[in-house]
Amino acid sequence: MAIISFKRIGHRILAVVGLTVSLGLGAIAWFYVDYQERAVLAQNERNMLRLTEAVSLNLQSVMLAGYADIAQSFAERLHKVEGIDDFYILRTDGIEAFGDNRTIVAVNQRRGEELFRPRDKEVERRLVAADNPLLRQALERRAPAVAYGTDEHGERNLRILAPILNQASCHKCHGQAQPVRGVIMLATSLDMVERDIYETRKASILVLAPTLLATLILTGLIMRRSVVRPIESMTSAMLRASAGELDQRVPVKGDDELAQMAGSFNTMTNELLKTYRGLKLEQDKLTTIILGAGEAIIVTDAADHVVLVNPAATALLGKSQERIVEEGFLQIFDRPDLMEQWLGGPVADSGPHTLEYNAHVLSVHAARINDAQGKRVGSAALLRDITEEKRLEDELRRLSNTDSLTLLYNRRYVDESLQTELDRAQRYRLPLSVLVLDVDHFKRFNDTHGHEVGDRVLQAVARALRAALRGLDSPCRYGGEEFVAILPSTNKAGAYALAERLRQDIERLVVDGLQVTASIGVAEFPDIEVTQQARLIGAADAAMYQAKRSGRNRVCIAHSVALDQGT
């Protein structure tokens, strides 16, 4: 047995149409049955009203003919009418009529003679309460009052209270004071009527069931052929297209909405196929670029799951692709705090950042990527190996700050470094000393023995200077035969002691059989109050010339002088 799945649109359409048709036919049948029921009840009610009207007329005829003595017999015969449960003639107060002599006595008194002989036996029986709403309605409206109810056996019944009006022909005996002389009470069971209604309902169902079945079958066939099959065909094509088969085509039959939908689908898949082929071509180009790029590229999705790692990244980081994916984006350099810091800034500040990792110096661009609405779409990192560039840069910087002959720092380095040290000494109130050294009679070495000997003398002095200084000191060739030493955190006493040892070391030098000596000047900040490094060099230079004037091969300290702070 096939199981109907309401996940399929065809079955849902058939179910909706079937339900709609069933409800429509059911509503028509209900309306018809309800109409028939009301019609039967109305007809029965009209018949009962006619019956009460006929009884009222007959009773009046009997009374007008002067046969009041047979009125009681007439009323008693009403009790035996077939199909009627209760059939009584009542006075207006709800007591059964023709049971006592009240009306006879009143009529005889009004007429002044004994027209009617009183009854020998009187019976007073109340059938309806005097304040009964149905009775009050009949009396007040002077028209039959009708009510449907249920008897003590639970069966439905119809009760009618029809007033007997006081006609002009009755005034002679009864006067005009009361507009209503009495009430005819009729109560009848509705069993027969309900049996007729039941038969009507049964007949309606017998007609409705095959009609509904035939309608559903016919509607289902029409709907399946004209609607469900085209929709299923299009759905199947859509599923295949969503799976990547973009060459799907749906037959276009007719010019209705489904045909227009099929045409639109064919146009859409054709455009998608063109776009897909274009994107595939661009993707192939991009893949070639990414995989062949010398720079390392790592990309994540919105949840920070690594989704792309090119071969350059694995080679540069020394990690497999699986390890990079498993450890996550923040662990690229095994320093998640650093990555968080880089990624926390705006895209414009994404780099480059310089980092040493895995024996490489890397230039890193790392950033979170957001769409136009500010929603994160992923993160990306671009790594470039700048190890060789960094080495060349450092070498270039070293060469730019190094004297090629002596391999000491050159004058450019002195100008930059000394000003930095002077600013630091002023900021932290630290001493700073400078030595200026000049080789004695150097021109004589060049002129007498040649420049090659002079160069060897300079190299020997440079070695002695470097050997005498600490690691934080800076030995420099300032120009020609003049040297400078920058001594951070050193006062003039310490500088003098170092200069004197250096002088002695140089004095012990013998280059190509030649004796070498030097004159040295010392200047200290803040003993020399200056703000510019040239003034401090100038003070040490002046002290060095003082040493030369004093006989050379000696050390002199610059005198304390107050210089203008703006110089």
Q: Is residue 566 part of a domain?
A: no
What's the rounded Cα separation, in Å, for the pair 530 and 426? 10
In this structure, the answer to whether residues 365 and 452 fall within a common structural domain is no
What pLDDT, on a 0 to 100 scale, did the predictor assign at position 1? 42
Give the tens place of pLDDT for each residue, 367-377.
Answer: 888 888 878 88
Last residue of a domain, one of 181, 196, 211: 196
Lowest mean pLDDT of 47-51, 116-120, 363-367, name the range: 116-120
Secondary structure E strands in 358-481: 360-370, 376-385, 432-439, 474-479
Residue 69 domain flag: yes
Beta carbons within 8 Å of 383's beta carbon, 6+ residues apart: 295, 296, 297, 298, 312, 313, 316, 317, 362, 363, 364
Instruction: Give the helix, strand, coil percentages of the chain, each rounded to 5.
Output: 55, 20, 30
> Model confidence at 251, in pLDDT bands (50, 70, 90)?
confident
Catalytic positions, please?
481
Of 172, 196, 220, the domain-final residue? 196
Instruction: State whether the Cα torsion 546-549-553-554 is positive or negative.
Output: negative
Q: What is the mean pLDDT of residues 31-46?
A: 80
Strands 518-525 and 555-557: parallel
Is residue 496, in this structure, part of any structural domain at all? yes
Residue 349 lies in domain = 294-391
**In this structure, are 526 and 423 located in the same domain?**
yes
Q: Verify that 352 and 472 share a domain, yes or no.
A: no
Are the C-beta atoms of residues 522 and 499 closer than 8 Å to each other?
yes
Residue 249 lies in a domain: no
Quote the pLDDT of residue 154. 80
Q: Is residue 255 part of a domain?
A: no
| Residue 492 clears pLDDT 50, i.e. is over it | yes
Asked which of 343, 367, 391 is the last residue of a domain, the reply is 391
Number of Cβ atoms within 10 Å of the Cβ of 524:
25
Domain of 413: which CATH number? Answer: 3.30.70.270
Say yes or no: 372 and 413 in one domain.
no
Q: Which of 42-46, 65-69, 174-178, 198-202 has the lowest mean pLDDT?
A: 65-69
pLDDT digits (tens, 9 = 90+) for 122-172: 778 888 888 989 889 888 888 898 888 887 778 888 888 888 887 777 776
Average pLDDT over residues 286-312: 81
How many distinct structural domains can be found in the chain? 3
**pLDDT for residue 9:** 62
pLDDT at 69 over 80: no
Instruction: Say yes or no: 327 and 385 in one domain.
Output: yes
Q: What is the DSSP letter of 455?
A: H
CATH number at residue 56: 3.30.450.20
Task: Return the H-helix or E-strand segment holding 201.
Answer: helix 191-223
At 528, is the secondary structure helix, strand, or coil?
coil
Average pLDDT of 391-408?
77
* pLDDT tier, 3 (very low <50, low <70, confident <90, very high otherwise): low
Q: Are residues 462 and 540 in the same domain?
A: yes
> What is the rounded distance in angstroms from the CA atom of residue 206 to the CA atom of residue 225?
29
For residue 96, is it within any domain? yes
Residues 413 and 445 in one domain: yes
**What does the pLDDT look like over 498-556, one tens digit per residue?**
999 999 999 999 999 899 999 999 999 998 888 788 899 999 999 999 999 999 999 99
One domain for residues 455 and 312 = no
Band of residue 380 on the pLDDT scale cut at 50, 70, 90: confident
Within this chain, do residues 438 and 472 fall inside the same structural domain, yes or no? yes
The answer on 298 and 173 residing in a single domain is no
- Evaluate whether residue 271 is within a structural domain: no
Q: Are residues 470 and 383 in the same domain?
A: no
Copy the structure tokens of residue 355. 């980092």
pLDDT of residue 108: 76
Q: How large a percentage of the chain has pLDDT more than 70? A: 86
Quick check: is 232 in a domain? Answer: no
Give per-residue pLDDT as tens, 83-109.
677 778 888 888 887 777 777 777 777
Most confident stretch, 43-57, 123-137, 185-199, 489-503: 489-503
| Same domain for 421 and 486 | yes
